Amino acid sequence: MATKMILTGDVNLMNVTDPAVPFARVEDEFRATEIVFCNLECCLYQPPGRHSLEHEGFFADPQVAGEALRSAGIHAVGLANNVNYGEAAIMASIARLDQLEIVHCGAGANRALARAPVILAHDGTRFGMLQRSSVYWPTNHEASEETAGIAVIRGHTAYQVPMHRSGPPANRPGIPPEILTWADPVYLRWLDEDIAALRGPAEVVVASFHWGLHREVLQYMTEIAHRAIDAGADLVIGHG
């Protein structure tokens, strides 16, 4: 028997006051689907009334937004993205998802938990999902061995003068540089390890990545996607 999956991009539930509204046009489709996975681009967290800029973020009412996810029939979410930020917000969001019995990946109390996948089963087939972000803040965002945060794949950027071009000559002031991007080899190795480990308990592996710049496909994105496939991913999805 075939299993139907829906893999969505960014889902942001900020400012939602009625849980029936966000998914009204797709709820029937979601509920007729065995596995629905989305990138949850907000924290289910209510910050203190008076809070510093350090605690600014994409926050959604945990009760309303949580009920919206549950009633729509969403089974799993990825949390590795640029707006799941701050230890208190991340841990509160995870606690709410656990309460709703919506499984999650991509963020956790430490690096190991953030890197951990989720597995859903249907009709004897197990589907494993993991998520990483290359779009994140440089401070207090990436999970470490001892601190909460998200699972990331670090990207690098370099700019070089296009000396190999014949025109316009590279000796002219104002020649725009070429932009080069690549993924950090240490993080790629971790991705290899995590996908290989997931291939055992799961027959189908989904690798989800939060990345990109506008609508461009950058070099590091292609590198990560190919690396995930070579490591054993059956499906690669991107959002950002």
Structural Rg of the chain based on CA atoms: 19
As a whole number of angstroms, the distance between CA 73 and CA 4 comes to 13
* pTM of the full structure: 0.93
Q: What is the pLDDT of residues 32-52, one digit of tens each?
A: 999 999 999 999 999 877 655
- Structure-model confidence comparison of residues 59 and 53, the more confident one: 59
At residue 167, the pLDDT reads 65
> Per the structure, how many domains does the chain have?
1
Residues of the chain with pLDDT > 70, as a percent, come to: 94
Question: Is a pLDDT exceeding 70 seen at residue 150?
Answer: yes
CB-CB neighbours of 112 under 10 Å: 11
Q: What is the pLDDT of residues 6-26, one digit of tens each?
A: 999 999 999 999 999 999 999
CATH of the domain at 25: 3.60.21
Q: What is the pLDDT of residues 73-132, one digit of tens each?
A: 999 999 999 999 999 999 999 999 999 999 999 999 999 999 999 999 999 999 999 999
Confidence of residue 2 (pLDDT cuts 50, 70, 90): confident
Residues spanned by the domain of 230: 5-239
Distances (CA, A) of 2 to 5, 37, 122, 205: 10, 17, 9, 16
At residue 30, the pLDDT reads 98
Question: Is a pLDDT exceeding 70 seen at residue 61?
Answer: yes
Tokens at 146, concatenated: 């001892």
